[in-house]
A = this chain, B = another copy of it.
Amino acid sequence: MRILGIDPGSVATGWGVVERRGSQCAHVAHGTVRPSRGAALPARLADLHAAIGRIVATHAPERVVVERVFVGRSVRSALVLGQARGAVLAALAGAGLAIEEITAQHVKLAVTGTGAAEKVQVQAMVKRLLALAETPPRDAADALAAALAWHPLASVHGLAGAARGASFRGRVGRASGRGASRIVIRRVP
């Protein structure tokens, strides 16, 4: 199962692909889409839309997990971020992919054990969980973390399940927080 995680942003959109094999998660690829700041907004949104299309075509994910937005920002920044999300979501759904949203808190909880983790903690844990040689950039790390946080049972058990789900055993298990082992025991005798 190939999972694409995306962290959309108005300046930079992080993406990361992981492959789930049983209880293991392996790194496939990651990157950051950063449309030219000199270009006009519509051109940047079209670039973002096209880039997402290329990522999907190249890595053929079966699932997409998009980080849900924290809306406690200003109206202006919500509009700007919304525009980037609109281009990203249209590209993903246009490619026929089912999309799940997951809050930043759930992502952090899943990979660091706390929903209040700092960005650098997320980066460090993503590097460790995926045995990467180098720490991925912030936005790409968030996207990889979202992909790691996705859980096959999430649609049944709600997204909270994604943050402490059974398949975080093995290499990913350490990061799934205190609730993890209890749920693992119930589901996998």
Contact = CB atoms under 8 A, between A and B. Distances in A.
Describe A's contact surface by its main secondary structure: helix
Interface residues of A, number: 34
A42 B93 contact: yes
Among A84, A86, A89, A92, the most chain B Cβ lie within 10 Å of the Cβ of: A86
Contacts of A72: 75
Nearest to A52: B90
**How many protomers of this protein does the assembly include?**
2
A71 B76 contact: yes
A120 interface: no
Contacts of A87: 86-87, 89-90
B78 A40 contact: no
A78 B81 CA distance: 9
Interface of A: 40-43, 45-46, 48-50, 69, 71-76, 78-94, 99
12 contacts: A42-B92, A45-B90, A49-B49, A49-B90, A49-B94, A71-B76, A81-B82, A82-B82, A82-B85, A82-B86, A87-B90, A90-B90
